[in-house]
C-alpha cells in the first residue's frame, strides 16, 4: 500500500521521541523503615513476616520471623506489642493485630513441629550463656545459628527463667514455653540445669570459653520496711509466683492484699483470685495513670474482680488487718502522706515492690562496672567493661520485659560473633521512617481489626486456663493482610497503572518495577499515588 506522504503514518513510531528529556524531577523507588519494625525491641522484621503470612505460607512467615526472634508463640502471649501502638494503620481504623498473628505463627510452628536447622558450619568457638531466661536462650539460639558452640548454665531446675517463674500459666501455658525452649536446645545447645555459677571469673577460666553472655535476670525481691506483728502473714511476689511452679500452691487465704504497682503485682493478684481468694486487693501509692503495670493486664485483672486501692501505702501489718494511709500527689506528682488512716482486713500480704539482680557471681571480674544494682554495658555491643564478657536482660540498665530481653540476646549474640571474629559489629544502615504522612491511604480498604476471643470471666477466675485465645487461620490471614506495607513496595501495580507515559516497567511478580527514564516526564503521579510511600521524587541534576 503506497501510503500518502505525511498524511498517513506507521503505528507507534513516537517511540523515537524520548520525552524523558523533559524531566526536572525523577521518581526513584525507595524502601523505608516501617514504624512497627522500628519500634520492636526484639528487632523483628514485622512487615516482612506479615507479608509472607498474608500469602498463606505460614512456615515461610515463621522462618522469616524467627530469624530475629526464636519465640513467636511466647511473644504472641507475653509481649506488650508496642509495635501496635505505632502501627500507621492505627490512624486509619485500628492497628494491625501483629501480636495475634505472631502467636498464630508460633502456635502453627508448635503444632506442625517446625524446627531450626543446625548451623551449616561450626566456628569451633565456644560460648557460655549464664541464665536460661528469654535473654539467655535468645542469645543461645542466635549464637548457634552463627555456628558457635553454646553451653547454657541455669541455676534453676527448668528452662525459661522469669518466663516460668514470673509469668503465670494463664498467660503463658507451660507446654508453649517448653516447646519453644526445647526447639532451641534441639538446635545443639548444651544445657546444664541447677548449675548456679558462683564465680564467673573461675567459670571462664576453667571452661575455657571464648566468650560469655550473662543473663541471670533479677530474682531478688525488694523488701520494704513495714512494722508488723509476727503473726502477720507477709510473702514476696517472686516466691509466690515461683511456688506456683512447685508441687503445692502457696497458702494465701480468702482475702489477699498485694502491695505494689508493677505487672508482678497484678500477676499475683490475678493468681490469688484463681487460688480461690474472694478478695484480691492491690494497694498502690500512686494513680492509675502512673501505674507501671501494663494497662491491658490491669484491665483483665479488674474484669476478673481484682480491686485496686489507689493512692495508698501500708503503714502497719497486724493480725488479719493492715493499716493504710491515704496519699495525695504533690505538684511534682509524687505521693505525700495525708495523715488519714484506715484499716484493711486481710489474710495475707504479698509484697510486689520489684526485684534486684544477684551480682554475687561477678565479684573479682576486672573492668566490670556496676551501677544502681545493675551491670553497665556498651549499649551498642552489650559488652561489659571486661573483654569477652557480655550481659543482657533484666541485669543491665533497660526496660525490664521479655521482648527487650530477647532483643538483648540477639544483639549480644551478633556482637559476640563479631568480637570472636575480631571484627566490629557494623551498625546496620537504618532506612528513614515510613511515616503516616507519606502514605496514600485512599487505596486501603476499611478493614476493622480482628478481636481475639477471650476466655469468659467465670472460667478465668476459677482456672489457670489461658485467658487470651488465638486467631483462626482466616482471621490471621485477614489480620496479616491489613498491613499497609508502610514504606515498602508490595507490587500493587499502581505506579505501573497511573503513568500517563507508560514509563513504568513491570519486572514481574516479586521483582517489583523499574522506571523507563527515556519516557518518564517526571510528573510525579506515581509517587503521589503510591499507597505505601515507596517512591520518592528527586531533582534531576542539571
Which residues contact another protein by CB under 8 A? Answer: 1-19, 22, 54-55, 441-448, 450, 474-475, 478, 481-485, 490-494, 496-503, 506-509, 516, 518-519, 521-525, 527-529, 531, 537
Characterise 351 by phi-psi region: left (phi > 0), alpha (psi -120 to 50), beta (else). beta
Residue 522 CB, shortest distance to another protein, in Å, is 6
Residue with Cβ nearer another protein (14 or 231): 14
All cell numbers assigned to 510: 516479586
Chain centroid to Cα 456, Å, comes to 26
Residue with Cβ nearer another protein (54 or 297): 54
Residue 102 CB, shortest distance to another protein, in Å, is 18
All cell numbers assigned to 72: 513467636
Residue 90 CB, shortest distance to another protein, in Å, is 16
Residue 438 CB, shortest distance to another protein, in Å, is 14
**Euclidean distance between CA atoms 298 and 267, whole angstroms:** 9
Residue with Cβ nearer another protein (10 or 331): 10
Residue 96 CB, shortest distance to another protein, in Å, is 11
Residue 399 CB, shortest distance to another protein, in Å, is 33
Residue 97 CB, shortest distance to another protein, in Å, is 11
Compute how many other C-beta atoms are within 10 angstroms of the C-beta atom of residue 1: 4
Cα-based angle 332, 334, 336 (whole degrees, multiple of 5):
120
For residue 390, the cross-strand partners are 213, 383
Spatial contact of 205 and 128, defined as CB atoms under 8 Å apart: no
| CA nearest neighbour of 101 among 138, 51, 169, 137 | 51
Residue with Cβ nearer another protein (22 or 341): 22
Which residues, other chains included, contact 509 with Cβ-Cβ below 8 Å and sequence gap of 6+?
491
Residue with Cβ nearer another protein (109 or 484): 484
| CA nearest neighbour of 537 among 508, 500, 495, 509 | 495
Running DSSP on this structure, what letter comes out for residue 68? Answer: T
Residue with Cβ nearer another protein (55 or 276): 55
Residue 441 CB, shortest distance to another protein, in Å, is 8
Residue holding cell 497486724? 318
Q: How many CA atoms lie within 13 A of 292 on its CB side?
A: 15
Residue holding cell 482456672? 463
Residue with Cβ nearer another protein (265 or 434): 434
Residue 509 CB, shortest distance to another protein, in Å, is 8
All cell numbers assigned to 133: 531466661
Spatial contact of 104 and 175, defined as CB atoms under 8 Å apart: no
Residue 518 CB, shortest distance to another protein, in Å, is 8
Residue 506 CB, shortest distance to another protein, in Å, is 5
Characterise 130 by phi-psi region: left (phi > 0), alpha (psi -120 to 50), beta (else). beta
For residue 375, the cross-strand partners are 370
Would you give the end-to-end CA distance of the chain in angstroms? 46
Residue with Cβ nearer another protein (213 or 513): 513
Residue 193 CB, shortest distance to another protein, in Å, is 44
**Euclidean distance between CA atoms 475 and 435, whole angstroms:** 26
Residue with Cβ nearer another protein (209 or 519): 519
Residue with Cβ nearer another protein (87 or 258): 87
Q: How many CA atoms lie within 13 A of 410 on its CB side?
A: 18
Residue with Cβ nearer another protein (251 or 514): 514
Q: How far is CA 513 from CA 280, 335, 505, in A?
A: 60, 60, 6
Q: What is the DSSP string of 116-166?
A: PPPPSS----EEEEE--SHHHHHHHHHHHHTT-EEEEE-SSSSTTTHHHHT
Residue with Cβ nearer another protein (28 or 198): 28
All cell numbers assigned to 515: 522506571
| CA nearest neighbour of 382 among 45, 129, 62 | 129
**Euclidean distance between CA atoms 283 and 253, whole angstroms:** 17
Residue with Cβ nearer another protein (202 or 493): 493
Residue 16 CB, shortest distance to another protein, in Å, is 6
Residue 188 CB, shortest distance to another protein, in Å, is 38
Residue with Cβ nearer another protein (196 or 506): 506
| CA nearest neighbour of 346 among 307, 326, 318 | 318
Amino acid at each position: 500500500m503506497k501510503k500518502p506522504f505525511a498524511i498517513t503514518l506507521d503505528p507507534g513510531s513516537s517511540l523515537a521521541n524520548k520525552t524523558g528529556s523533559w524531566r526536572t524531577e525523577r521518581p526513584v523507588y525507595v524502601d523505608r523503615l516501617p514504624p512497627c519494625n522500628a519500634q520492636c525491641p526484639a528487632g523483628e522484621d514485622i512487615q516482612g513476616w506479615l507479608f509472607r503470612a498474608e500469602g498463606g505460607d505460614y512456615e515461610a512467615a515463621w522462618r522469616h520471623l524467627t530469624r530475629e526472634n526464636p519465640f513467636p508463640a511466647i511473644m504472641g502471649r507475653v509481649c506488650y506489642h508496642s509495635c501496635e501502638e505505632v502501627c500507621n494503620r492505627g490512624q486509619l481504623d485500628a492497628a494491625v493485630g501483629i501480636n495475634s498473628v505472631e502467636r498464630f505463627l508460633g502456635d502453627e510452628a508448635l503444632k506442625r513441629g517446625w524446627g531450626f536447622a543446625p548451623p551449616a558450619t561450626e566456628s569451633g568457638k565456644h560460648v557460655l550463656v549464664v541464665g536460661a531466661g528469654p535473654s539467655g536462650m535468645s542469645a543461645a539460639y542466635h549464637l548457634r545459628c552463627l555456628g558457635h558452640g553454646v553451653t547454657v548454665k541455669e541455676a534453676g531446675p527448668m528452662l525459661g527463667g522469669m518466663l516460668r517463674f514470673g509469668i503465670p500459666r494463664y498467660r503463658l501455658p507451660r507446654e508453649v514455653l517448653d516447646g519453644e525452649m526445647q526447639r532451641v536446645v534441639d538446635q545443639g545447645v548444651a544445657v546444664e540445669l541447677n548449675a548456679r555459677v558462683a564465680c564467673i571469673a573461675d567459670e571462664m577460666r576453667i571452661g575455657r570459653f571464648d566468650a560469655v553472655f550473662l543473663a541471670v535476670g533479677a530474682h531478688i525481691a525488694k523488701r520494704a520496711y513495714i512494722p508488723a506483728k509476727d503473726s502477720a502473714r507477709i510473702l514476696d511476689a517472686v516466691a509466690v509466683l515461683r511456688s506456683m511452679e512447685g508441687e503445692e500452691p502457696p497458702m494465701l487465704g480468702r482475702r489477699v492484699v498485694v502491695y505494689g504497682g508493677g505487672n508482678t503485682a497484678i500477676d499475683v493478684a490475678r493468681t490469688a483470685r484463681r487460688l480461690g481468694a474472694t478478695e484480691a486487693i492491690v494497694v498502690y501509692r500512686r494513680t492509675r495513670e502512673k501505674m507501671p503495670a501494663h494497662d491491658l493486664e490491669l484491665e483483665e485483672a479488674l474484669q476478673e474482680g481484682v480491686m485496686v486501692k489507689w493512692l495508698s501505702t501500708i503503714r502497719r501489718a497486724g493480725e488479719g488487718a493492715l493499716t493504710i494511709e491515704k496519699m495525695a500527689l504533690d505538684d511534682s506528682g509524687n505521693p505525700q502522706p495525708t495523715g488519714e488512716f484506715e484499716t484493711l482486713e486481710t489474710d495475707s500480704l504479698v509484697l510486689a515492690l520489684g526485684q534486684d539482680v544477684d551480682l554475687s557471681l561477678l565479684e573479682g571480674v576486672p573492668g566490670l562496672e556496676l551501677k544502681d544494682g545493675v551491670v553497665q554495658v556498651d549499649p551498642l555491643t552489650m559488652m561489659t567493661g571486661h573483654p569477652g564478657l557480655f550481659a543482657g536482660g533484666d541485669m543491665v540498665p533497660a526496660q525490664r520485659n521479655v521482648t527487650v530481653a530477647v532483643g538483648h540476646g540477639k544483639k549480644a549474640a551478633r556482637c559476640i560473633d563479631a568480637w570472636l571474629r575480631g571484627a566490629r559489629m557494623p551498625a546496620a544502615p537504618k532506612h528513614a521512617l515510613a511515616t503516616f504522612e507519606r502514605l496514600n491511604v485512599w487505596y486501603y480498604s476499611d478493614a476493622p481489626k480482628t478481636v481475639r476471643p477471650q476466655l469468659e470471666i467465670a472460667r478465668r477466675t476459677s482456672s489457670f486456663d489461658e485467658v487470651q485465645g488465638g486467631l483462626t487461620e482466616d482471621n490471621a490471614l485477614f489480620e496479616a493482610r491489613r498491613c499497609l506495607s508502610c514504606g515498602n513496595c508490595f507490587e500493587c501495580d499502581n505506579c505501573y497503572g497511573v503513568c500517563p507515559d507508560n514509563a513504568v516497567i513491570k519486572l514481574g511478580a516479586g521483582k517489583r518495577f523499574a522506571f523507563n527514564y527515556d519516557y518518564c516526564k517526571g510528573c510525579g503521579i506515581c509517587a503521589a499515588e503510591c499507597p505505601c510511600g515507596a517512591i520518592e521524587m528527586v531533582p534531576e541534576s542539571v
